Amino acid sequence: MSDTRIANVRAWQAFDSRGRPTVGCRVELASGAHGSVVVPSGASTGTHEVHELRDRAAQFNGMGVLAAVANAEGELARAVSGLDARDQHMVDAALRSADGTENLSVLGANAVLAISLGSAIASADHARRPLYETLVGAEDPLLPLPMVNIVSGGAHAGWSVDVQDVLVVPVGATSFEQAIEWSWGVRFAAEAIFTRSGWNAALVADEGGLSGNPSSNREMLHVVVDAIEQAGLVPGRDVAIAIDVAATQLLTDDGSYHLRAEGRTLTAGELVTEIDGWAQEFPLVSIEDPLGEDDWVTWSEATRRLAGRQIVGDDLFATSESRLATGVARGAANAILVKPNQNGTVSGAHDVLVAARSERYATVVSARSGDTEDAWLADLAVGWRAGQIKVGSLTRSERTGKWNRLLEIERCHAGCEFAGAAALGS
């Protein structure tokens, strides 16, 4: 066991894909094995997520993370020193105990996650095995069905339209390679549509999706359907559509939802009716965050009304076991987005995923809008057998790094099964 003890933690101020400071970290074991990571950060963050620690000083307009870096190398490093990196729950429990708050606001969730992930990667390095193989246990690894961003709005694209993301889901694909090839065809067909329409196809959002030109949410959906057809695929049969409404970002103080790009304000019920109309008109198989993060009553109603489709809770659940339990009790959603940096630790995020699967909720491992070039998320999705992954588009290296890792795993791990459309919740 002594070889796998955590011997040293080094941390530094790095940058995410939006150019904002974030925490980089290297965890070193007594054996000389190590794990390095640069943690991501979200733009449309929910209030129930764990809290990043920012310096709020003049440097980087208050976005610096030097205090979090110091905490990683100081109090958090001391908390895990000498612990066996193979015992992820023990390492993560020590990190949480050192912070002492549920939302990790004292020492910083960004610092905590960096050490948690670094430990997992170092343990895999010591074993000389891919990270996903150290996570899968007695089961076989599972390649996830991808959701690929095509057109973006909301907080990811300067509110050009209100829906945050329109994505494609290659439901007819029989391999991950085919799924990515089909998604690529749709992404670049959509770019051609933008160009022919006189729109600026060079404008891309935080996650690499096209942005800035469709005049309404419905037009954005039409563009994606047209792109599926122009890629030589059949909408609904080969490739379907997913949307991330990110409705918490649309919520006003009086409980209504303001579609600022369209100049309309809707009640919760009217918003559900609007989304239901899209679902009837377009091959929509997955709907993320159709309502605000605390509107449990309407969430439950929407889940019943939109039955037969995957209804995903992101801000609603915030990768929290307690919030997931509330959703299960209320019949809210049938799927959950799992984001390690919403929860703060690797084992905590995995525990949420396991709890969701036990309740027959579909699980989608997800990147963040401010992500990094690291590819560990792909390994988590495969090793945890999540079934689905949402990374962004097929441009920008912080996105393609994850897709490329999944293509590598498919090629190099003989017989690794592809989840396909069966992974979708309904």
**Looking at the annotation, which residues are catalytic?**
207, 339
* DSSP at 72: I
Name the nearest CA neighbour of 40 among 116, 113, 146. Answer: 113
3-state secondary structure 287-342: EECCCCCCCHHHHHHHHHHCCCCEEEECCCCCCCHHHHHHHHHHCCCCEEEECHHH
Backbone torsions φ then ψ of 112, nearest 5 degrees: -60, -50
CA–CA separation, 335 and 388 (whole Å): 10
**Residues 250-287 as b or e (16 or more Cβ within 10 Å = b):** bbeeeeebbbebeeeebebeebbebbbebbeebbbbbb
Q: Which residues are CB-neighbours of 251 under 8 A, at least 6 positions away?
A: 257, 258, 292
Strand partners of residue 288: 244, 312
Q: Which residues contact 35 (CB under 8 A, 6 or more apart)?
A: 26, 27, 117, 118, 119, 120, 121, 122, 123, 124, 125
Give 325's contacts (C-beta < 8 A, 6+ positions apart): 355
